[in-house]
Each structure stands twice: as C-alpha cells, then as structure tokens.
Amino acid sequence: MLTLRGKGVSGGVAIGRARLLHREKMKIKQYAVSDIEAEWRRYEAALTKTVSELERLYEWSREEIGHENAQIFSVHAMMAQDEDFNDAVRTIIVGQGNNAEYAVSMAAQQFSSAFAEMDDAYMRERATDVGDIAQRILQNLTAGRQGEATDKSDTPTGEGDIICAENLTPSETVQLDRHSVSAFVTAQGSANSHTAILSRTMDLPAVVGVGDGLGAIEDGVIIAVDADNGEVYVDPDAPTLRALRLRIEQNAHARTILQKYRGRESRTLDGHRIEICANIGGIEDMEEVIRNDADGVGLFRSEFLYLGRTDFPSEEEQFEAYRRVLERIPGKRVVVRTLDIGADKKATYFGLAPEENPALGMRAIRISLTRPDVFLTQARALLRASCYGTLAVMFPFVTSTEEVRRLMSLWERAKADLRERGEAYADRVEIGIMIETPAAAIISDRLAPLVDFFSIGSNDLTQYTLALDRQNAALDEFCDSHHEAVLRLIRHTVQSARRAGIWVGICGELGADLALTEEFLRMGIDELSVTPTSVLPLRERVCTLRVERQESMVDDYTKTGGEL
C-alpha cells in the first residue's frame, strides 16, 4: 500500500479502480510486432469498444443534456470509424509492422495537424476531436492489455471508477459520467478552482495536488480516496479498506440524520428566516437539489451549456435547458447567471485571443457586451423559458453602473425581438447582478437602485480583493477566506442592498462556511446558495442559532466611523 497526500477539495470517501486520463500526453512507445494480424485485431477490438462506448455515451447524455449537446459523442463515433483514419492506422500496423498504440498516435497527429492547418474555423476545431478520439482508443488498447481491468463489471469493490489525471479542466469535470465515476485525484489543482467547486456540486470526493505521486498509480489498480483528510491509498491493505468502508457507512448515516431538516424552514431560534438555495451547473444537478430540499436554485452557472462542445448552443437548445430546470421545481425561484466564459472556463469556438492575465481579461459580461449576438441569443432563450416557472437572471463580473445599463438595454432588445416574433415571456423576471469584484462591492450603493437583487460571488470577490489567483494551488496557504477586507465588502454590500430595499444573497463557497453563518445572518443576508449537499447541514446550523446576542466579527471597523 502506498499513501499519497494532497488537498481534499470535496469531502467523502470512495473506493474503486483507478482510471488514468490524458494518456495522450504520455509518451507512446514504438516497437515492432511479430504477429501483425493479431496486432491489427487488437486495434479493431479497441476501436469497436470505443465506438460502442461513444454510442452509449450519446444515448445517456441525450437524456441528461439534450440531443444538441450530446451530438458530439455521435460525431466522435463517426469520426472514429472514418475510412481514411483507419487506413492510416492500418498502414502503420500492417504495412510497417508497428504496435497499435504507436499507429494510433501517429495517425492522430497526422490528422489533427491537417485539421489544424485548415482555413475554416469549424474544421480547425476538429483537430481537438481527433485528439479526444485517439485518447479513447489508446485507453481501450491499454485496458485490453490488462484484461479489461477498467471494465466496471470487473470491479470487486462494487464502486465506480476513480479518475486520476494530471489536472482536470471544468469542462472535463462536468462531462465525467457520474453513474460510473465515484471520485477523482489530480496531481495539480487548487481548492477554489471551478473544478473543485464542480466536484462539490457533483458530490464527488476529490483530492487535488498529490503531485508526482500520481505517477505511482497504474490504470486499473484499486485505490481508496479519503477526501476528508486529503489522502489517497494506492492498493490499500485490508485494515485500511475496513476502516474506510466504515467511514462510508458513517457518512451515509450522517446524511440520513439530516433528512429531518427536509421540508423545514431555515429559521433561527430567535426568528430570523433565510432562504437556502442550491448552485447548479445544469439539469443533471437537479436531482440533488430536490433530494436536499433546497429552497430554490440560487446560481445556475449557465456557461456549462457552452463548454465541452464545438459550437455555440442555439437559442432553442438553451431554452430547453432553462425550461427543464424551471419545471423541476415549480413555485421555487431559479437564478440563472448569464454566461461567465473566460478565465479558466474556455470554449475555443469563442475565438478569444490568448491573454497574459485571463482572470483580468475578456470574461463574462465583457464578452456579452462585445458580442451582443451571443448575449441576445441567451437572453431570448431565458425570456422564453420564463413562462415555465419563477425565473431570475443575474449578470456576472460587473464593475460599473454603465455596464449594468448597457446589459439592461440589451435585455430590453431581446424582449422586443420576442414581441416581434409573437413569442411570450413572463411579465416579471427579476434582474440582479453578482457582486464579485471589489469595484462592485464599493459602489454597491450606486448599483442597488438599478437592480432587483444582489448575489455576492465570494470566490471571485476574495480572489480580486486579496490579489490571489484562485487557480494557483501554491497560493492556497495565503488565502484567508475570513479576511476582514472581504467581510467588510460583504457587509457594505448587504447594507447597500437593505437601504435600497432589494434582497441580497451569497452564492460563492463562503455561503456554506458554517463558521460564518451567524455573521451573515447578523449582517442581514436574505439568501445563501450552496452546493446541493451543503443545504441540509446549513439549515441545521441556522435552525440551532440565536443571532441577536452574538458579537460581530467585523463590528470593530464601524467604530472608526467609516462605512467600509
């Protein structure tokens, strides 16, 4: 047994077989094979398995994310069977006597460079697809060598795969098949990245930052992830497995006990009531939202509809996605954030120029304002969906009143487009903004009269206030999430909202921090929006608090006379 240490960014324990990702980044060895026909058959078997995996993935994701999003998998299945590609592989195996892995990686390189050099932007995008397909075939070639070690039916633990990778992008994370994956482990990664946030939303135990130790994990080996303590056991011994299985049972029991808070109001012992809502990335998270009895959706990160695909989602496709979410919780509010692409959430088809400092660059509403066509498509889809539930919309990454005015006028234009088309939308859709830059927090008194609500994005607010790149794991030790500067900005924002008579919530990770719940209630926060599995622990905390008598953590500065 080998123990690796990293950072647990989403709690829980899982036991399963390691599935290594990003094999294309590994060095592929070239060697001559003696039985050429057997090698070709090995390739054919891996190809058949890849195609059926992709077809299954298409069927499954069509249910979960709709036909247009899922289509990428059927396109990949077709590309994998492309005659020219397979002829190129055959030439390298049968014609030159090389091993199948080498043939696949050479053919893939050849095809992706050809695509990458094409004039047409759509065709250039296909270069990435070729890489993805080759990776799947390579994975199946290796699995074949290990006697199908990664086949789940063969897993004696009865649990899902544990994804092991150098790093995972948010789009890779959101595409993990949650029916078959039970945890992930990465060599790199920080606690505040979107990948970490997604792991919490998806309720997947995750340990990041195990560093070079990742190299010790072989595909198919049994590993146990103790994300509560940031530990990963490779080939765990029997006592470790027993202890961790007990923890899995205890965690399940603790969840059962929390069930008594389902159906209850989130009200303190001295009568303060707040809403506890859930953050989601798409329809697939709604099951957890309902299971955990959230009061609504406080943040739907709509940009995930744009990730992991090769072209913009159409108005129709977006309309369906928003409608389906709204219809799952009739009578409860769903706050959709307009697209927040940029920084770590990249979609190549946006054609954004490379940037030195992407977190300070072309991101979120800066894209919406410079590409109004993209924003208007989303706005029309949202407005149409507003007829199917209680929709609220918010704009991310605001820094000025001017930006809000410009967005509002685009929003009105989207309404006019629909009127012209004779399509309906709800009379009232609340419009809010995220307070996630120090600029917005400081001028929150000016912003409040322009909108119906504020939602404080404490993740970015912390990043920009403390000048700490949330993607950089090396900076985690400098990240004081209770830093007084951040708390003062939150408090000032709440005061601005209350003076203007609008509601204010927190949708960043700080909202789930039980050590701050009292403080937030005392400030006058109306709503906390957290990952679905944090809803009931937070409700339990609220229901056992008495806030009136407590001392404030940030009171001292008010004595100096300054607002902030």
Residue ranges that bind ligand PEP, judged by CB under 6 A: 197, 299, 301, 340, 436, 457-460, 507-508
**Cβ atoms of residues 278 and 294 within 8 Å:** yes
C-beta of 80 vs 197, nearer to ligand PEP? 197
Supply the minimum distance, in Å, between the C-beta of residue 506 and Mg ion: 12
Report long-range pairs for 278-281 (Cβ below 8 Å, ≥24 apart).
278/529, 278/530, 278/531, 278/532, 278/535, 279/197, 279/201, 279/507, 279/529, 279/530, 279/531, 279/532, 280/201, 280/325, 280/532, 281/174, 281/198, 281/201, 281/202
CB of residue 347 to ligand PEP, shortest distance in Å? 15
State the binding partner of 101 from Mg ion, ligand PEP, none, CB within 5 to 8 A by kind: none
Structure tokens at 493: 């924002």
Q: How near is the Cβ of 485 to Mg ion at its closest, in Å?
A: 17
Active site residue 194: yes
Q: Terminal CA-to-CA distance of the chain, rounded, Å?
A: 53
Residue nearest to Mg ion as judged by C-beta position: 460
Nearer to ligand PEP, 343 or 536 (CB): 343
Cβ-contact 2, 216 below 8 angstroms: yes
Pick 369 or 387: Cβ nearer Mg ion: 369
CA separation for the pair 546, 554 (Å, rounded)? 18
The single-letter code of the amino acid at 293 is D
Nearer to ligand PEP, 137 or 456 (CB): 456
**How many residues belong to the chain?**
564
Q: Is 433 or 507 the residue whose CB approaches ligand PEP more closely?
A: 507
Pick the catalytic residue from 76, 164, 194, 277: 194
Q: If we measure between CA atoms, which residue out of 555, 397, 366 comes closest to residue 461?
A: 397
> Which of 438, 344, 361, 431 has the alpha carbon at shortest distance from 399?
438
Contact 101, 28 (CB under 8 A): yes
Q: Considering only CA atoms, which of 266, 233, 226, 230 is closest in space to residue 250?
A: 226
Residue number, 99 or 302, with CB nearest to ligand PEP: 302
277 classed as catalytic: no
Could you give the CA distance from residue 122 to residue 543 in angstroms, rounded to a whole number? 54
Question: Where on the chain is the footprint of Mg ion (CB under 5 A)?
Answer: 436, 457, 460
* β-pair type (231-234, 222-226): antiparallel
Return the one option of ligand PEP, Mg ion, none that residue 403 interacts with (CB less than 5 to 8 A, by type). none
Residue 535: contacted member of ligand PEP, Mg ion, none (CB under 5 to 8 Å, by partner type): none
Separation of alpha carbons 405 and 450, rounded Å: 8
Instruction: Choose between 6 and 457: whose C-beta lies nearer to Mg ion.
Output: 457
Q: Which residue's CB is nearer to ligand PEP, number 389 or number 508?
A: 508
Q: For residues 414 and 440, is the Cβ–Cβ distance under 8 A?
A: no
Phi/psi of residue 100, nearest 5 degrees: -65, -40
In the complex, the smallest distance separating the C-beta of residue 371 from ligand PEP, rounded to whole angstroms, is 19
508 binds, among ligand PEP, Mg ion, none (CB under 5 to 8 A by kind): ligand PEP
Q: How far is the CB of 464 from ligand PEP (least distance, A)?
A: 9
507 interface partner picked from ligand PEP, Mg ion, none, CB below 5 to 8 A per type: ligand PEP
- Which token pair is 353? 């120029």
Identify whether the C-beta of residue 390 lies closer than 8 Å to the C-beta of residue 427: no
**Minimum CB distance to ligand PEP smaller for 99 or for 465:** 465
d(CA 3, CA 328): 42
- The Cα–Cα gap between 101 and 31 comes to 10
In the bound complex, what is the minimum distance in angstroms from residue 462's beta carbon to ligand PEP?
8
Catalytic residue among 76, 277, 492, 507: 507
Which one, of 170, 197, 465, lies nearest residue 342 by Cα?
170
Residue 422 CB, nearest approach to Mg ion (Å): 36
Q: How far is CA 454 from CA 226, 250, 382, 494, 528, in A?
A: 37, 38, 19, 8, 11
Residue 301 binding partner per list Mg ion, ligand PEP, none, with a CB distance cut-off of 5 to 8 Å that depends on partner kind: ligand PEP
What is the spatial distance between Cα 412 and Cα 407, in angstroms, rounded to a whole number?
A: 9
Kindly state the smallest distance separating residue 511's Cβ from ligand PEP, in Å. Answer: 9
469 binds, among ligand PEP, Mg ion, none (CB under 5 to 8 A by kind): none
Least distance CB 286 / Mg ion (angstroms): 21
The catalytic site residues sit at 194, 507
